[in-house]
Chains A and B, each alone.
Chain A
């Protein structure tokens, strides 16, 4: 068995979710190859070769693969994937964009967002916004799978010594083009990788009040997240949204401030180790999953918390 892992990378660095995906591949067992597709990705390939447990790194460096356009990258992965037992990608927006296209080109079903590996062909994945866990078995010739990063502990980024091999294949469908992007700037840790996450909801009342959460987050070295209500109200940008339709996080500590705890929000954070809820409504559903609940006005409690930690 040989497993192909599609590397997630940005700005010339390997994204952390790649390390969790390699960890899932290691649980399946067999040789692990990593594909780095993009433009000017020599540095990424070198970094990928150092990941613990990786046997080989394939590099497809071509202008057509810049910005990971699925129309061009999917045929490449499908062509390479024919020779593998499993093709894995992290369940990031890139992974979710490309991998189903790969699966359809290979004419196989795909398994989305696995959280556990039972055996080489059997996996666990959440359905119904995490309210049920399905165990699914695949008899596809090539098993195409996306991996929920929070379900697997990352492998070491250093210590491996994989061979780097160039892939010549250039697929350019010519049906799509990158126009531009607008990335939210943040000095805080990345939401999905942070050890502590502080999130605000509708109870924050406006975007300006998020400064209280930023101050607390900076003291704790935490990332700041938000519920859909806070995003839809325009308090914060949508890439901060935690939930079924946003990001899935599982930090050591999740502090939910002014968040009621709708099913869709819980789907994104209920695997956190410790959950703290600060809400003035003592009937809020968030208290049913919180390890520590504080019924209080957040505008008093959050500044006080910031002073005490």
Chain B
């Protein structure tokens, strides 16, 4: 089967971001960018399905700025066969991204669509579910295990109280949770080979998708900072403070 994987370029997860002084957003100038960690897991799962002979082709797609080519090249170096970039200058809403991905999916006709469960910048956790709704696909969100059995997809999902397994008809959307797999690193020869793999660029206009959003960000602020705490010297002092000062036990 053909697998479509969506990846997003985001600020590196180790970077502690700063809010801009004018409250218009987060300062991303000169900040290290990387592939969203959940998207790395999505690429890894697709490549593993290919190695098991289940997937025939892995197409990776990103919606973002021209620089998102770097993340697509990374995915190609990890084992994806070809890449599609939907180039946009603006930060789009999850619904707009889902519509663009649906347009790409209509053209590519994949049997399985894999996304990360959420991007660590917007923390939305929406795109996979929205894509499933728009395409009429079944969805296996927060997946920690994926298997194919008798033409159906078996997905084990991480839910609040433990794990749940569902069987989905294909085509289906899967969103990855942290424990699905451990992504590999790209080797130098593969990074070189990835430069020769096809990367096609398109736009929302070319796909005929409107990216208008009903949501406006009015301001972005730093969270209220906690007042500095104290270090206690002993367990006895800690218990005394919790009982008499904080009054929480």
Contact = CB atoms under 8 A, between A and B. Distances in A.
Interface in A61-100: 67, 69-71, 74, 92-94, 96-100
A239 B160 CA distance: 6
A103 B138 CA distance: 16
Contacts of A305: 235, 238-239
A224 to B, nearest CB: 15
B139 A101 contact: yes
A293 B95 contact: no
B66 interface: no
Contact of B235 (A100, A173, A274, A304): A304
Contacts of B126: 100, 103, 110, 112
A181 B239 contact: no
Interface residues of B, number: 79
A245 B238 contact: no
A168 interface: no
A39 B163 CA distance: 20
Interface string B90-115: 00011100100000000000000000
A276 B236 CA distance: 14
Contacts of A209: none
Interface in A115-158: 122, 126-140
Contacts of A99: 129
A128 B123 contact: yes
B130 A101 contact: yes
A290 B118 CA distance: 28
B249 A309 contact: yes
A43 interface: no
A176 B19 CA distance: 42
Contacts of B221: 132-133, 135
A232 B167 contact: no
B186 to A, nearest CB: 22
B161 interface: yes
Nearest to B165: A179
Contacts of B244: none
B231 A289 contact: no
Interface of B: 11, 13-14, 16-17, 19, 26, 93-95, 98, 117-118, 120-134, 136-139, 141-142, 144, 154, 157-169, 172, 177-179, 213-223, 226, 229-232, 234-236, 238-239, 241-242, 246, 248-249
Given A176-B139, A247-B160, 4 more contacts: A99-B129, A100-B94, A100-B129, A109-B93
27 contacts: A97-B129, A97-B142, A100-B129, A103-B130, A107-B95, A112-B123, A113-B123, A128-B121, A133-B221, A135-B217, A138-B214, A140-B214, A173-B136, A176-B168, A178-B165, A181-B162, A183-B161, A184-B162, A192-B160, A245-B118, A245-B178, A252-B248, A263-B16, A274-B242, A274-B248, A275-B229, A292-B231
